[in-house]
Amino acid sequence: MQGLYPTIWQRIGADRHFSGAATWRLPLKKGPATTTTLLLFFVFVFAAFLSSSWINSSFSSIFTHCMWYYFNLQSTFSATKGIKEDIIILKHQRKIPKRIEIPLNCSTGNETQTCPSNYPTEKSETEINDDPSSNSTCPDYFRWIHEDLRPFKATGITRDMVERAGRTAHFRVVVVKGKVYVEKYRKSIQTRDVFTLWGILQLLRRYPGRLPDLDLMFDCDDRPVIRSSDHHGPNATAPPPLFRYCGDQKTLDIVFPDWSFWGWAEINIKPWESILKEIREGNKRIRWMEREPYAYWKGNPFVAETRKNLLTCNVSEKQDWNARLFVQDWILESQQGYQQSGLASQCTYRYKIYIEGWAWSVSEKYILACDSETLIVKPKFYDFFIRSLQPVHHYWPIRDDDKCRSLKFAVHWGNNHKQKAQAIGRAASDFIQEDLKMDYVYDYMFHLLNKYANLLNFKPEIPEGAVEFCSETMVCNAKGLEKKFMMESLAKGPSITNPCTLPPPYEPHVLGVFLRRKTNSIKQVEEWERRYWESLDKKQ
Ligand SMILES: *[C@@H]1O[C@H](CO)[C@@H](O)[C@H](O)[C@H]1NC(C)=O
Ligand SMILES: *[C@@H]1O[C@H](CO)[C@@H](O)[C@H](O)[C@H]1NC(C)=O
Ligand SMILES: *[C@@H]1O[C@H](CO)[C@@H](O)[C@H](O)[C@H]1NC(C)=O
Ligand SMILES: *[C@@H]1O[C@H](CO)[C@@H](O)[C@H](O)[C@H]1NC(C)=O
Ligand SMILES: *[C@@H]1O[C@H](CO)[C@@H](O)[C@H](O)[C@H]1NC(C)=O
């Protein structure tokens, strides 16, 4: 275990007093329809009160991912849906059981930091809100959990399969009796591994005693590696189950939320919960109609050919493809304290382009959160939530083989169908605010890990080289932004609500219909695009 994150724990006796900076919000679960009347009443009472506080808005910063010295930035701000959530909070406040907060127990002076032995490890030790209305069904994208685990369903998962997944893994996580043990294989890019592990530890603080024993391999690199073609046919070996941040059509890697949900210290991206709140508060500083009527992108073009190719669509003296494209210089930004990257100026356009880099890009959720219409250049990769989004409803599809003409038409269409374009932007930002809030990110991890653990047909044991991990060993001696983000994203104590209920797997024909609908909407847009260009060519 030597050499594992020396920056975090080989420091002794750092500060032991923390002021919990984390936002600890009341759980927002969907209420039953019968409370509508009550809700309406509150709407009227509070609308007047709240509306005055909406006027001021603050902005939120953000941005993205990729190879470690190159980044791509986008920033966002978005509409709030404050009123609805405030009301739901009111409705639930009456019945909420007492929330227990369990502070970190950081050791004093030169003592070695240990993991606390008194953290609850059983569900019964924590108070759970058993009010039936607190049970809610998880958003639809949770259904992909079943799809991602399908390749392992027939055979189950053996220890050998897990160990084979170790070939490219950065670390192995073993949970035994509610405690987490980590075996480190190699250093990841930046602090991806640190914040991913931190996220898993927070999941356990949130739902103590509710995760079964498990044993998994995690690869923090960008691109998926378990090719399905290698595990196909009569004599093929069973695929190794490998966790990572994104997948594609040809691979079987299991997708898991990326590190940035807990913060990206290297480029000053705060934990997701704080960002969502800022975005909510940012509430429409510039209304959609008043934004620049062009497609905007700012990022690092050097990570992928497709991005370099995108830059050819920039406006020039000779032509205007309705695109305004900029290069992000992260080194310069960091020297200037990221003042540019956090600017509202990035959300002053009606249309924002999302384009993949070396693989999927972390920038995706920040772009979608902005109230602008997102133009997605045909992606090759998927993360854990994107598969449930529908083209033309949540975003506008852009061809990857004819980007400039495709962009020009997308913007033209939006500016001629302003209500619809605005609605597309709003559908995406609603999805991000509601279905991708931190509670659901944890619930996704919870269900994925539970289902995964159910497939193991061996009893997980603590590997020889593994070390016990807990929030204390990670954060007590951490410094700087790493410490700040960890404290901010700390789960202060066990959740008082159950996780949402996992929806069943897609019926094969329902999944078929869903995917066909997606393909057809994209085809429809391509057809509109073709006709648009045909009519323009005729005029000339
Ligand atoms: C903190 O941990 C120490 C041992 O590491 C233990 O003696 C002490 O009781 C713990 N404090 C709390 C409040 O749990
Ligand atoms: C820890 O500090 C105490 C005094 O504060 C000292 O007596 C002791 O030798 C130190 N132990 C180690 C291992 O450095
Ligand atoms: C709520 O969900 C939990 C499990 O998530 C289940 O045990 C319980 O029976 C559910 N309650 C109701 C009223 O459906
Ligand atoms: C699979 O294994 C069987 C028996 O070991 C062998 O006869 C057959 O040729 C193999 N098939 C392939 C495609 O390798
Ligand atoms: C794109 O065009 C704008 C406006 O002329 C310019 O400011 C910007 O630097 C250009 N972007 C690139 C990547 O050349």
How many whole angstroms separate alpha carbon 484 and alpha carbon 372?
30
Instruction: Write down the pLDDT at residue 31.
Output: 41
Is ligand 1 within 6 A of the CB of residue 118?
yes
Mutate to test the pocket of ligand 4, among 230, 231, 232, 235 (most ligand atoms within 8 A of CB): 235
Q: Is the pLDDT of residue 53 over 50?
A: no
Domains observed in the chain: 133-264+439-502 (no CATH), 285-437+513-538 (3.40.50)
| Separation of CA 480 and ligand 2 centre (Å) | 26
Q: Is the pLDDT of residue 51 over 50?
A: no
Average pLDDT over residues 80-96: 45
Residue pair 489/200 in contact (Cβ under 8 Å)? The answer is no
Residue pair 56/347 in contact (Cβ under 8 Å)? The answer is no
How many whole angstroms separate alpha carbon 383 and alpha carbon 339?
29
Q: Which ligand is nearest to the CA of 237?
A: 4
Average pLDDT over residues 129-134: 60
- Phi then psi for 373, rounded to 5 degrees? -75, 130
Q: Which two tokens stand for residue 388?
A: 């449930």
Region class of 229: left (phi > 0), else alpha (psi between -120 and 50), else beta: alpha
Binding-site residues, ligand 5, Cβ < 6 A? 311, 314-315, 325-327
How many whole angstroms separate alpha carbon 72 and alpha carbon 269?
12
Burial of 423 (0-12, 13-18, 19+ CB in 10 A): middle
| Separation of CA 125 and ligand 1 centre (Å) | 19
| Separation of CA 450 and ligand 1 centre (Å) | 30
| Separation of CA 109 and ligand 2 centre (Å) | 8
Q: Which of 177-181, 232-236, 252-256, 399-403 has the lowest mean pLDDT?
A: 232-236
Is ligand 2 within 6 A of the CB of residue 108?
no
Q: Which two tokens stand for residue 287?
A: 């209304």
Q: Locate the ligand 1 atom nearest the alpha carbon of residue 105 and give its number.
A: 1
Average pLDDT over residues 75-100: 47
Query: Does an H or E element contain 184, and which?
Result: strand 179-184
Burial code (b: 16+ CB inside 10 Å, e: under 16) for 271-280 equals: bbbbbbbbbb
Give the chain's mean pLDDT. Answer: 82
Burial code (b: 16+ CB inside 10 Å, e: under 16) for 243-252 equals: bbbbbeeebb
DSSP type of residue 434: I
Q: Locate the ligand 5 atom nearest the alpha carbon of residue 301 and give its number.
A: 13
Residue pair 274/214 in contact (Cβ under 8 Å)? The answer is no
Q: Is the pLDDT of residue 356 over 90?
A: yes
Model confidence at 48, pLDDT cuts 50, 70, 90, reads very low
Nearest CA to ligand 3 atom 1: 135
Model confidence at 111, pLDDT cuts 50, 70, 90, reads confident
| Separation of CA 108 and ligand 2 centre (Å) | 11
Model confidence at 12, pLDDT cuts 50, 70, 90, reads very low
Q: Which of 24-38, 246-260, 454-468 has the lowest mean pLDDT?
A: 24-38
Is ligand 1 within 6 A of the CB of residue 102?
no
How many whole angstroms separate alpha carbon 42 and alpha carbon 312?
52
Q: Which ligand is nearest to the CA of 470?
A: 1
Q: Locate the ligand 3 atom nearest the alpha carbon of residue 134 and give its number.
A: 1
Model confidence at 52, pLDDT cuts 50, 70, 90, reads very low
Model confidence at 276, pLDDT cuts 50, 70, 90, reads confident
Please compute Rg for the chain using Cα positions. Answer: 24
Binding-site residues, ligand 3, Cβ < 6 A? 132, 135, 498, 501
Q: Which ligand is nearest to the CA of 12?
A: 2
| Separation of CA 235 and ligand 4 centre (Å) | 6
Region class of 276: left (phi > 0), else alpha (psi between -120 and 50), else beta: alpha
Model confidence at 286, pLDDT cuts 50, 70, 90, reads confident
Is ligand 2 within 6 A of the CB of residue 109?
yes
Q: Which ligand is nearest to the CA of 107?
A: 1
Q: Which two tokens stand for residue 270?
A: 């705060």
| Separation of CA 342 and ligand 2 centre (Å) | 45
Q: Which ligand is nearest to the CA of 320?
A: 5
Is ligand 2 within 6 A of the CB of residue 110?
yes
| Separation of CA 487 and ligand 1 centre (Å) | 19
| Separation of CA 103 and ligand 1 centre (Å) | 11
- Phi then psi for 74, rounded to 5 degrees? -140, 150
Instruction: Return the beta strands (E) in 406-489 as ranges.
Output: 467-469
Q: Locate the ligand 4 atom nearest the alpha carbon of residue 233 and give its number.
A: 13
Enumerate the β-bridge partners of residue 391.
395
Nearest CA to ligand 1 atom 10: 105
